[in-house]
Structure 1
Amino acid sequence: MATNTLPRTGPASARRTTVFMKVVMAASGALFVLYVLLHMYGNLKIFSGVKAFDDYALSLRTMFTPILPFGGFLWIMRALLVLAVLGHLWAAFHLWSRANGARGSRYYAKEAAKAAARSKMMRWGGVAILLFVIWHLLQFTWVKFNVGPDRAGDSVGLLVVSSFRVWWVTLVYVLAMIALGLHLWHGVFSASQTLGLSTTAQARNRARATATIIALVTAVGFILPPLAILFGLVKGN
């Protein structure tokens, strides 16, 4: 008797695909959280002065030399982050399109009322953060253009100080970091659910507390340096 070897499709298969996509988002998001925390720590070096900040920037390029070439560690990190970004976007747009395709179902109608605001915040907040990251890389890494009043030369620290003396640059940065904090809060909590770490009320409370701490520490840690520069607490000399 012939047996049916066709792959299964339908709700069960769709749920498995959705879970896989959420795991991809959680894993790539975990890498982002680690990166932004390390990046935030590095940014705080500006409080020790421009030279300390420049020394820190140079140390990233000489890390693990001569095992790696000059700047090799940074290129490895960039490659990992690019892969994580692509995976995160792929999973996000897949889940987004699936959610749009389910709008007509009764289940979606019930769940959409609870999830619509958070979902829109994550989608458009993620797009805004991506656009900001491109601008940020152009300004401080790829092109290194100075929109501030001071000459920076080859000093990354002076470029940072000069740039954040311009009020609108600081405002854009602060708004982007608020968006990042909200994105992290929702992402960390959602990842705990996806990975099965918040199956009880107590676990969910711990997950919310952890997400809140990570989001606040990250956002405040990133916002402090540009505000300190704008208000003259950190100077370029």
Structure 2
Amino acid sequence: MSATSCSLCRFWSSSIGKKFVVAITGLVLVGFLAGHLSGNLLMYVGAEAFNEYAYFLHHMLHGAGVWIARIVLLTSLVLHVVATIQLTKANRTAKVSRYQCDATVQASKSSRMMIWSGLTILAFVVFHILHYTVRVDSDLAALADAGNQYQMVIVGFQNILVSVFYIIAISLLCSHLSHGFSSIFQTLGLRTQKNAGLIDAIAKIYTIVIWVGFVSIPVAILCGFIK
């Protein structure tokens, strides 16, 4: 095993290393959510704008760009979830005093919620890729092949079960995000007593914007506002 591989293994094995991985992959995912939402909101502009956006994504870097983005996203998500699970398991098995247990009981509850919401989000991303990217549904595939991604999104969300699962997953994601956003700054040493309030406020506003933006699309489609 090379020296670089050994260093990476030691880094991953350490608690600090895993926390750093969670923070960095969290930043990647936070950035992706903002970019993805800005594109999705073009559904409100109309079919032409959204289809042009979809065409750009799928032809960026001669078609390689979208696959690079998918690989980075999935890798970041898997590392994020795995590192979070391992950190939580390590915390549970650590021997601490009664005082320490009492002081961290709230954090433990948050960590447990983070794991289950993270696993649900991972399952949702896989489903979302199968549904809209791989397009295992032949009707959606036909619309995409015709270059009408706008109508593909509408048909997909007209399925009430798909929309409900989407809304639940986005809600869990935002619950995860509301805690994780501030934790990123804490782990990277960027959170201080002076800016803690500002960071928490930004986290809440960002989470609300993400939730409202994503959830509004299937709701608007089901209500007939987007058609």
Q: TM-score range by the shorter chain?
A: 0.7 to 0.9
Which position in structure 2 is the counterpart of 1:8? none
The correspondence of residues 63-102 of structure 1 with structure 2, limited to 5 A, is: 63=60, 68=61, 70-102=62-94
Write out per-residue CA displacement over residues 153-182 of structure 1, whole angstroms, 9 at most, x where no aligned residue.
Answer: 632211110121222221111111111111
SS at match of 1:185: helix
The correspondence of residues 68-217 of structure 1 with structure 2, limited to 5 A, is: 68=61, 70-102=62-94, 104-106=95-97, 108-145=100-137, 152=143, 154=145, 155-200=148-193, 202-217=194-209
Please report how far the alpha carbon of residue 97 of structure 1 lies from its aligned counterpart in structure 2 after TM superposition.
2.0
1:54 aligns with 2:45: no
Q: What CA distance in whole angstroms lies between the structure 2 residues aligned with 1:181 and 1:146?
A: 31
Q: What CA distance in whole angstroms lies between the structure 2 residues aligned with 1:38 and 1:147?
A: 27
Q: How large is the Cα RMSD of the aligned pairs?
A: 2.3
Identity %: 33
Q: Which residue identity does 2:104 align to in structure 1?
A: A
Q: What CA distance in whole angstroms lies between the structure 1 residues aligned with 2:24 and 2:144?
A: 39
Please report how far the alpha carbon of residue 146 of structure 1 lies from its aligned counterpart in structure 2 after TM superposition.
6.2
Structure 1 residues 162 and 123 mapped into 2: Cα distance closer, same or farther (>3 Å)? same
**Count of matched residue positions in the alignment of Structure 1 and Structure 2:** 213
Contact 2:26 2:80 in 1 (8 A): yes
More helix by share: 2
Structure 1 residues 43 and 97 mapped into 2: Cα distance closer, same or farther (>3 Å)? same
Q: Which has the larger radius of gyration?
A: 1
Q: Which residue identity does 2:15 align to in structure 1?
A: T
1:34 aligns with 2:40: no
Contact 1:198 1:207 in 2 (8 A): yes
Unaligned runs of 5+ in 2: 1-9
Q: What CA distance in whole angstroms lies between the structure 1 residues aligned with 2:184 and 2:32?
A: 16
Q: Which residue identity does 1:206 align to in structure 2?
A: L
Deviation >6 Å, runs of 4+: none
Q: What CA distance in whole angstroms lies between the structure 2 residues aligned with 1:147 and 1:99?
A: 47
TM-score when normalising by structure 1: 0.82
* Greater mean deviation of Cα atoms: 189-198 or 133-142: 189-198
Structure 1 residues 171 and 90 mapped into 2: Cα distance closer, same or farther (>3 Å)? closer
Q: What CA distance in whole angstroms lies between the structure 1 residues aligned with 2:111 and 2:17?
A: 18
Q: What CA distance in whole angstroms lies between the structure 1 residues aligned with 2:25 and 2:144?
A: 36
Please report how far the alpha carbon of residue 62 of structure 1 lies from its aligned counterpart in structure 2 after TM superposition.
2.3
Unaligned runs of 5+ in 1: 1-12
Q: What CA distance in whole angstroms lies between the structure 1 residues aligned with 2:101 and 2:42?
A: 49
